[in-house]
């Protein structure tokens, strides 16, 4: 018999993790792991993850104990998971930000893609309440101003 809080009444052991592992749905397992990580860390996704700088960001974020890398997005993605450097772990990988955001809601998106993609991604992220770190170069001044106004209007962090 299991208590409703996930603690076995006679052994005192936490049974919640076993429930996650017995789920038959890959998406449900991924979502549960994502929610568990979100409790104690800032959740981050990287846009432009397969580029040179994107790969370095993946490495840095994955090694920072205060951050939880929950996924990656890159237009050139041809698999659904990305192996993390120096680890056997993988994270979800998508080729479209909209598809990724249907399943995951990072607190921050780090964008090192291309200017056109960065502007579109910024508008999408801000509308969903996701803070942004944009390192993409070549964004036009009027686009930067619009992104800044949108972030301020939606009370979203922007760097």
Give dist(CA 120, CA 143) in Å, integer: 10
Mean pLDDT of the chain: 84
pLDDT at 23: 42
Structural domains in the chain, sorted by start: 1-39 (no CATH), 41-153 (3.40.50.720)
pLDDT digits (tens, 9 = 90+) for 91-143: 999 999 999 999 999 999 999 999 999 999 999 999 999 999 999 999 999 99
Q: Length of the chain in residues, anyone? A: 159
Which of the pair, 106 or 27, is modelled with greater confidence? 106
H or E element at residue 83: strand 81-83
Residue 77: closest CA among 63, 91, 64: 91
Give dist(CA 58, CA 66) in Å, integer: 14
Residue 129: CA count within 13 A, CB half-sphere: 2
pLDDT at 40: 76
Query: What tokens does 97 get?
Result: 């930000």
Residue 45: closest CA among 114, 128, 133, 124: 133
């Amino acid at each position: 018999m299991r208590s409703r809080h996930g603690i076995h009444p006679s052994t005192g052991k936490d049974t919640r993790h076993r429930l996650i592992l017995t789920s038959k749905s890959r998406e449900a397992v991924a979502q549960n792991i994502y929610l568990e990580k979100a409790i104690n860390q800032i959740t981050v996704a990287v846009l432009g993850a397969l580029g040179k700088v994107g790969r370095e960001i993946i490495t840095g974020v994955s090694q920072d104990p205060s951050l939880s890398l929950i996924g990656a997005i890159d237009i050139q993605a041809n698999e659904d998971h990305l192996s993390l450097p120096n680890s056997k772990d993988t994270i979800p990988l998508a080729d479209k930000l909209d598809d990724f955001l249907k399943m995951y809601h990072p607190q921050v998106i780090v964008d090192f893609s291309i200017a056109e993609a960065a502007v579109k991604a910024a508008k999408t992220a801000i509308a969903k309440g996701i803070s942004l770190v944009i390192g993409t170069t070549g964004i036009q001044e009027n686009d930067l101003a619009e992104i800044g106004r949108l972030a301020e209007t939606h009370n979203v962090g922007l760097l």
